Amino acid sequence: MEKFNTISVSKCNKETVAMKEKCKLGMTATIPSGYVWRNTWNPVSCSLATVEMKKCLRGKFIYLMGDSTIRQWMEYFKASINTLKSVDLHESGKLQHQLAVDLDRNINIRWQKHCYPLIASMTYSVKEIEYLTRAIDRTGGEKNTIVVISLGQHFRPFPIDVFIRRALNVHKAIQRLLLRSPDTMVIIKTENIREMYNDAERFSDFHGYIQYLIIKDIFQDLSVSIVDAWDITIAYGTNNVHPPQHVVRNQINILLNYIC
């Protein structure tokens, strides 16, 4: 058309949109769970507030367990909180356990890799490897303890029953943790999407999506919350197993809203 008549744009009604409740533990997510607007993740079912990280994490023990995508959270915390000091645990390799503390604010953040399968191009020591179920069983837990678990990427090349058995074992360990310490906060971070053309037969998101559905199904009966990294990385279109910092920041912002 060469000519247009005047277009009048008006609101469909005069009702104000109700304010969404702040995101908190135990809320049921929608499908899809949110969208990206102005480079910020916006959940559909709740709203995210801006949280001051140092103030929120004062007196907290954050225990990050899983693969290198949750290690990214550890690196982000260390880069964002300038008072965090890394502690040398006298281990070797890129995959060594990490511990960072802020003695003035009593912040303690730890990362630990999960056990086999562990596919890596870097050397690492096998002496410190243990299953996450054992690490969870060693955790006393209390109201200031936050356990964050991420499983998936290293399981993609293997039969799905390997992942199901591991997820069920972690489920039982979390049950025991919440039984002895109901105030402990447990967060499950789902998988990131990854590169589309990098060894797609073994590592494609087809396998990841099946595992994503399994995780959501297995843990639905526990008092845990989900950081839906799958939907977040899809919305950002990262196609990178290790997404850029602004995506990691939005994932961690959900965690901070759960804590504070």
pLDDT per residue, tens digit, the chain (260 aa), is: 677 788 888 777 666 666 777 787 777 777 788 888 888 888 888 888 888 899 989 999 999 998 888 989 999 999 998 888 888 877 777 778 888 998 989 999 998 888 888 777 677 777 778 888 999 999 888 899 999 999 988 888 889 999 999 999 999 999 999 999 999 999 999 999 888 887 878 878 888 899 999 999 999 889 898 899 999 999 998 888 888 999 999 999 999 999 88
Instruction: Check residue 16 and give its pLDDT.
Output: 65
Instruction: Give the single-character DSSP code of 107.
Output: E
Contact between 245 and 234 under an 8 Å Cβ cutoff? The reply is: no
CA distances from 191 to 57, 188, 229 (A): 24, 10, 6
Angle between helices 68-80 and 245-259 (to 10 degrees): 80
Domains recognised in the chain with CATH numbers: 50-259 (3.40.50.1110)
CB-side neighbour CA atoms (13 Å) of 158: 14
Instruction: Check residue 60 and give its pLDDT.
Output: 92
Task: Give the rounded distance of the alpha carbon of 70 from its chain centre.
Answer: 6
Contacts of residue 89, defined as CB under 8 A and 6 or more positions apart, other chains included, come to 96, 97, 98, 99
Rounded distance, CA 99 to CA 195, Å? 29
